[in-house]
Structure 1
Amino acid sequence: MTPPVIAPGSTAEIEAVMRIMDSAFDPAFGEAWNRGQVLGILSLSDVWLILATPEGELLPEGFALARQTIDEAELLLLAVRPEARMRGIGRALVEAVADEARGRGALRLMLEMRDGNPALALYSAAGFGQIGRRRDYYRGRDRSVHDAITLARPLGIDPNLVG
Protein backbone atom coordinates (compact mmCIF):
# COMPACT_ATOMS: atom_id res chain seq x y z
CA MET A 1 0.00 0.00 0.00
CA THR A 2 1.47 3.32 -1.10
CA PRO A 3 1.10 6.04 1.53
CA PRO A 4 -1.00 9.05 0.58
CA VAL A 5 0.51 12.43 -0.15
CA ILE A 6 0.08 14.55 2.98
CA ALA A 7 -0.05 18.32 2.58
CA PRO A 8 -1.18 21.33 4.59
CA GLY A 9 -4.52 22.79 3.60
CA SER A 10 -6.23 26.16 3.84
CA THR A 11 -9.58 27.78 3.22
CA ALA A 12 -8.78 27.50 -0.50
CA GLU A 13 -9.57 23.77 -0.23
CA ILE A 14 -13.00 24.24 1.36
CA GLU A 15 -14.76 22.51 -1.56
CA ALA A 16 -12.60 19.40 -1.17
CA VAL A 17 -13.08 19.41 2.61
CA MET A 18 -16.86 19.67 2.28
CA ARG A 19 -16.92 16.92 -0.37
CA ILE A 20 -15.13 14.61 2.06
CA MET A 21 -17.19 15.78 5.04
CA ASP A 22 -20.51 15.17 3.30
CA SER A 23 -19.61 11.59 2.43
CA ALA A 24 -17.68 10.58 5.54
CA PHE A 25 -20.09 11.32 8.38
CA ASP A 26 -23.30 9.39 8.94
CA PRO A 27 -26.12 11.96 8.86
CA ALA A 28 -27.98 10.00 11.56
CA PHE A 29 -25.59 11.39 14.16
CA GLY A 30 -25.24 15.00 12.96
CA GLU A 31 -21.45 15.00 13.47
CA ALA A 32 -20.47 16.70 10.21
CA TRP A 33 -19.61 20.38 10.34
CA ASN A 34 -21.05 22.88 7.90
CA ARG A 35 -19.03 25.20 5.64
CA GLY A 36 -19.37 28.16 8.03
CA GLN A 37 -18.07 26.15 10.97
CA VAL A 38 -15.04 24.93 9.01
CA LEU A 39 -14.22 28.38 7.64
CA GLY A 40 -14.69 29.91 11.08
CA ILE A 41 -12.32 27.54 12.85
CA LEU A 42 -9.74 27.85 10.06
CA SER A 43 -9.64 31.61 10.67
CA LEU A 44 -8.01 31.00 14.06
CA SER A 45 -4.21 31.11 14.25
CA ASP A 46 -3.85 27.96 16.38
CA VAL A 47 -5.78 25.71 13.95
CA TRP A 48 -4.41 23.71 11.05
CA LEU A 49 -5.80 21.57 8.24
CA ILE A 50 -4.05 18.57 6.69
CA LEU A 51 -5.15 16.90 3.46
CA ALA A 52 -4.41 13.35 2.29
CA THR A 53 -4.43 12.55 -1.41
CA PRO A 54 -3.79 9.01 -2.65
CA GLU A 55 -0.74 8.88 -4.90
CA GLY A 56 -1.67 9.45 -8.52
CA GLU A 57 -5.02 11.05 -7.72
CA LEU A 58 -5.94 14.71 -8.05
CA LEU A 59 -8.44 15.17 -5.23
CA PRO A 60 -7.88 14.55 -1.53
CA GLU A 61 -9.76 11.63 -0.01
CA GLY A 62 -9.25 12.62 3.62
CA PHE A 63 -8.56 15.53 5.91
CA ALA A 64 -7.77 16.31 9.53
CA LEU A 65 -8.48 19.52 11.39
CA ALA A 66 -6.63 20.21 14.64
CA ARG A 67 -5.81 22.98 17.08
CA GLN A 68 -3.12 23.74 19.61
CA THR A 69 -3.55 25.08 23.14
CA ILE A 70 -0.32 25.53 25.10
CA ASP A 71 1.08 21.98 25.48
CA GLU A 72 -1.94 20.05 24.20
CA ALA A 73 -3.34 19.59 20.74
CA GLU A 74 -6.85 18.50 19.87
CA LEU A 75 -7.86 16.54 16.81
CA LEU A 76 -11.14 18.28 16.01
CA LEU A 77 -12.12 16.31 12.92
CA LEU A 78 -10.72 13.48 10.87
CA ALA A 79 -12.62 12.27 7.82
CA VAL A 80 -11.93 9.84 5.00
CA ARG A 81 -14.34 9.19 2.15
CA PRO A 82 -15.92 5.74 2.66
CA GLU A 83 -14.65 4.39 -0.67
CA ALA A 84 -11.07 5.34 0.31
CA ARG A 85 -11.07 3.73 3.77
CA MET A 86 -8.83 0.84 4.78
CA ARG A 87 -5.98 2.20 2.62
CA GLY A 88 -3.93 3.84 5.39
CA ILE A 89 -5.26 7.36 4.83
CA GLY A 90 -6.75 7.75 8.31
CA ARG A 91 -3.59 6.51 10.01
CA ALA A 92 -1.41 8.77 7.85
CA LEU A 93 -3.56 11.74 8.86
CA VAL A 94 -3.34 10.86 12.57
CA GLU A 95 0.45 10.64 12.33
CA ALA A 96 0.67 13.91 10.38
CA VAL A 97 -1.40 15.69 13.03
CA ALA A 98 0.75 14.16 15.79
CA ASP A 99 3.95 15.27 14.04
CA GLU A 100 2.66 18.81 13.55
CA ALA A 101 1.43 19.00 17.15
CA ARG A 102 4.76 17.74 18.47
CA GLY A 103 6.55 20.34 16.33
CA ARG A 104 4.36 23.03 17.89
CA GLY A 105 5.33 21.88 21.38
CA ALA A 106 2.36 19.69 22.30
CA LEU A 107 2.96 16.89 24.78
CA ARG A 108 -0.41 15.27 24.25
CA LEU A 109 -2.91 14.87 21.41
CA MET A 110 -6.55 14.59 22.44
CA LEU A 111 -9.86 13.97 20.73
CA GLU A 112 -13.46 13.43 21.61
CA MET A 113 -15.80 11.13 19.75
CA ARG A 114 -19.16 9.43 19.96
CA ASP A 115 -19.03 6.10 21.77
CA GLY A 116 -19.62 3.40 19.20
CA ASN A 117 -17.91 5.28 16.37
CA PRO A 118 -15.99 2.67 14.32
CA ALA A 119 -13.00 5.05 14.16
CA LEU A 120 -12.15 3.93 17.70
CA ALA A 121 -10.19 1.02 16.18
CA LEU A 122 -8.03 3.48 14.21
CA TYR A 123 -7.35 5.65 17.24
CA SER A 124 -6.58 2.68 19.51
CA ALA A 125 -4.12 1.30 16.95
CA ALA A 126 -2.51 4.77 16.76
CA GLY A 127 -1.78 4.79 20.50
CA PHE A 128 -4.76 6.65 21.94
CA GLY A 129 -6.25 5.58 25.26
CA GLN A 130 -9.53 6.56 26.85
CA ILE A 131 -9.22 9.19 29.59
CA GLY A 132 -12.81 10.28 30.04
CA ARG A 133 -16.48 9.86 29.25
CA ARG A 134 -19.35 12.34 29.02
CA ARG A 135 -22.65 10.58 29.58
CA ASP A 136 -25.46 11.32 27.13
CA TYR A 137 -23.42 14.00 25.35
CA TYR A 138 -24.50 13.40 21.74
CA ARG A 139 -28.05 13.27 20.43
CA GLY A 140 -28.79 11.55 17.15
CA ARG A 141 -31.30 12.89 14.67
CA ASP A 142 -33.63 10.12 15.86
CA ARG A 143 -33.28 11.48 19.43
CA SER A 144 -31.04 8.58 20.46
CA VAL A 145 -28.48 9.49 23.13
CA HIS A 146 -24.79 8.57 22.99
CA ASP A 147 -21.86 9.07 25.34
CA ALA A 148 -18.79 11.00 24.26
CA ILE A 149 -15.45 9.42 24.98
CA THR A 150 -12.27 11.43 25.38
CA LEU A 151 -9.06 9.87 24.10
CA ALA A 152 -5.46 10.99 24.45
CA ARG A 153 -2.09 10.00 23.06
CA PRO A 154 1.20 11.13 24.54
CA LEU A 155 3.50 12.96 22.16
CA GLY A 156 6.39 13.58 24.52
CA ILE A 157 8.39 11.20 26.66
CA ASP A 158 6.05 11.17 29.68
CA PRO A 159 4.04 7.91 29.51
CA ASN A 160 1.71 9.12 32.29
CA LEU A 161 0.01 11.67 30.04
CA VAL A 162 -2.51 9.12 28.74
CA GLY A 163 -4.03 8.52 32.11
Structure 2
Amino acid sequence: MVQAYIKTPLGTTAIKGDTQGIIKITVLDENVPESDTIPVELKEAVTQLKEYFAGSRNHFTFKLNPQGTDFQKRVWNALLEIPFGTTTTYQKLSVKLGDVKAIRAVASANGKNPLWIVVPCHRVIGSDGSLTGYAGGLWRKKWLLEHENPPIQQSLF
Protein backbone atom coordinates (compact mmCIF):
# COMPACT_ATOMS: atom_id res chain seq x y z
CA MET A 1 0.00 0.00 0.00
CA VAL A 2 1.18 3.51 -0.82
CA GLN A 3 0.25 6.83 0.73
CA ALA A 4 0.33 10.52 -0.15
CA TYR A 5 -0.63 13.77 1.55
CA ILE A 6 -2.25 16.79 -0.08
CA LYS A 7 -3.32 20.17 1.27
CA THR A 8 -7.01 21.05 1.09
CA PRO A 9 -9.05 23.96 2.44
CA LEU A 10 -10.10 21.67 5.29
CA GLY A 11 -6.64 20.44 6.29
CA THR A 12 -4.11 17.90 5.18
CA THR A 13 -5.65 14.87 3.49
CA ALA A 14 -4.07 11.42 3.61
CA ILE A 15 -4.76 9.10 0.68
CA LYS A 16 -3.91 5.39 0.84
CA GLY A 17 -4.31 2.77 -1.82
CA ASP A 18 -2.78 0.21 -4.10
CA THR A 19 -3.33 -1.24 -7.56
CA GLN A 20 -6.76 -2.51 -6.42
CA GLY A 21 -8.00 1.02 -5.70
CA ILE A 22 -8.18 3.69 -3.03
CA ILE A 23 -8.57 2.16 0.41
CA LYS A 24 -8.68 5.19 2.65
CA ILE A 25 -8.99 8.98 2.44
CA THR A 26 -8.92 10.92 5.70
CA VAL A 27 -8.53 14.50 6.78
CA LEU A 28 -5.96 15.14 9.48
CA ASP A 29 -6.07 17.70 12.26
CA GLU A 30 -2.29 17.83 12.42
CA ASN A 31 -0.20 19.64 9.83
CA VAL A 32 1.68 17.13 7.69
CA PRO A 33 3.77 18.30 4.72
CA GLU A 34 2.30 17.71 1.28
CA SER A 35 3.91 14.80 -0.54
CA ASP A 36 6.65 15.81 -2.99
CA THR A 37 5.83 12.90 -5.27
CA ILE A 38 2.53 11.12 -5.74
CA PRO A 39 2.64 7.35 -6.31
CA VAL A 40 1.13 6.33 -9.64
CA GLU A 41 -1.61 4.35 -7.83
CA LEU A 42 -2.86 7.59 -6.22
CA LYS A 43 -2.41 10.14 -9.02
CA GLU A 44 -5.98 10.04 -10.32
CA ALA A 45 -7.45 10.33 -6.82
CA VAL A 46 -5.19 13.30 -6.03
CA THR A 47 -6.12 15.02 -9.31
CA GLN A 48 -9.85 14.50 -8.79
CA LEU A 49 -9.78 15.63 -5.15
CA LYS A 50 -7.96 18.82 -6.14
CA GLU A 51 -10.56 19.41 -8.87
CA TYR A 52 -13.35 18.90 -6.33
CA PHE A 53 -11.90 21.52 -4.01
CA ALA A 54 -11.35 23.88 -6.95
CA GLY A 55 -15.06 23.58 -7.74
CA SER A 56 -14.62 21.89 -11.11
CA ARG A 57 -15.64 18.31 -10.16
CA ASN A 58 -18.85 17.00 -8.63
CA HIS A 59 -18.30 13.24 -8.84
CA PHE A 60 -15.37 10.85 -8.64
CA THR A 61 -14.41 8.11 -11.07
CA PHE A 62 -11.27 6.56 -9.63
CA LYS A 63 -11.34 2.97 -8.37
CA LEU A 64 -12.40 2.47 -4.75
CA ASN A 65 -11.48 -0.44 -2.52
CA PRO A 66 -12.83 0.31 0.98
CA GLN A 67 -12.41 -2.31 3.66
CA GLY A 68 -15.42 -3.08 5.86
CA THR A 69 -18.24 -5.46 6.66
CA ASP A 70 -20.86 -6.36 4.06
CA PHE A 71 -23.38 -4.11 5.84
CA GLN A 72 -20.95 -1.18 5.95
CA LYS A 73 -20.28 -1.61 2.23
CA ARG A 74 -24.05 -1.60 1.54
CA VAL A 75 -24.37 1.67 3.44
CA TRP A 76 -21.35 3.20 1.68
CA ASN A 77 -22.77 2.18 -1.71
CA ALA A 78 -26.07 3.84 -0.77
CA LEU A 79 -24.14 7.00 0.16
CA LEU A 80 -22.62 7.03 -3.32
CA GLU A 81 -26.14 7.44 -4.72
CA ILE A 82 -26.79 10.75 -2.91
CA PRO A 83 -26.56 13.39 -5.64
CA PHE A 84 -24.02 16.19 -5.42
CA GLY A 85 -25.46 19.27 -3.75
CA THR A 86 -28.26 17.40 -1.96
CA THR A 87 -28.74 15.79 1.43
CA THR A 88 -30.67 12.90 2.89
CA THR A 89 -31.43 11.72 6.41
CA TYR A 90 -30.33 8.66 8.35
CA GLN A 91 -33.97 7.58 8.42
CA LYS A 92 -34.37 7.82 4.64
CA LEU A 93 -31.12 5.94 4.19
CA SER A 94 -32.36 3.19 6.54
CA VAL A 95 -35.61 2.88 4.59
CA LYS A 96 -33.69 2.74 1.31
CA LEU A 97 -31.59 -0.11 2.73
CA GLY A 98 -34.77 -2.00 3.67
CA ASP A 99 -34.94 -1.60 7.46
CA VAL A 100 -36.40 1.56 8.97
CA LYS A 101 -35.26 0.38 12.42
CA ALA A 102 -31.60 0.23 11.36
CA ILE A 103 -31.03 3.97 11.82
CA ARG A 104 -28.34 3.50 14.46
CA ALA A 105 -26.54 0.81 12.48
CA VAL A 106 -26.66 3.00 9.39
CA ALA A 107 -25.32 5.96 11.38
CA SER A 108 -22.52 3.79 12.76
CA ALA A 109 -21.53 2.54 9.29
CA ASN A 110 -21.73 6.11 8.02
CA GLY A 111 -19.32 7.18 10.78
CA LYS A 112 -16.86 4.45 9.78
CA ASN A 113 -16.74 5.55 6.14
CA PRO A 114 -13.06 5.23 5.14
CA LEU A 115 -13.33 7.39 2.01
CA TRP A 116 -13.79 10.99 3.14
CA ILE A 117 -15.68 13.18 0.64
CA VAL A 118 -15.67 10.53 -2.12
CA VAL A 119 -18.26 8.44 -0.29
CA PRO A 120 -20.32 11.46 0.73
CA CYS A 121 -21.28 10.74 4.33
CA HIS A 122 -21.30 14.51 4.85
CA ARG A 123 -24.56 14.62 2.86
CA VAL A 124 -26.45 12.78 5.62
CA ILE A 125 -28.20 15.04 8.11
CA GLY A 126 -30.68 14.65 10.96
CA SER A 127 -34.41 14.34 10.26
CA ASP A 128 -34.88 17.86 11.63
CA GLY A 129 -32.31 19.25 9.18
CA SER A 130 -29.56 19.53 11.78
CA LEU A 131 -25.92 18.78 11.07
CA THR A 132 -25.47 15.69 13.18
CA GLY A 133 -22.21 13.90 13.99
CA TYR A 134 -19.32 14.02 11.58
CA ALA A 135 -15.97 12.36 12.20
CA GLY A 136 -14.09 15.26 10.60
CA GLY A 137 -15.89 17.84 12.75
CA LEU A 138 -19.17 19.61 12.13
CA TRP A 139 -17.39 22.72 10.79
CA ARG A 140 -15.99 20.59 7.97
CA LYS A 141 -19.40 19.05 7.25
CA LYS A 142 -20.91 22.55 7.04
CA TRP A 143 -18.10 23.69 4.74
CA LEU A 144 -18.56 20.69 2.42
CA LEU A 145 -22.33 21.15 2.17
CA GLU A 146 -21.90 24.85 1.40
CA HIS A 147 -19.16 24.05 -1.12
CA GLU A 148 -21.49 21.65 -2.93
CA ASN A 149 -24.54 23.88 -2.73
CA PRO A 150 -23.47 27.51 -2.40
CA PRO A 151 -26.17 30.06 -1.64
CA ILE A 152 -27.51 31.86 -4.70
CA GLN A 153 -26.95 35.59 -4.68
CA GLN A 154 -30.33 37.28 -4.83
CA SER A 155 -30.79 40.40 -6.90
CA LEU A 156 -31.14 43.58 -4.85
CA PHE A 157 -33.51 45.11 -7.43
Give 1 or 2 for the bigger CA radius of gyration: 2
TM-score of the pair, normalised by structure 1: 0.27
The structure where strand makes up a greater share of residues is 1
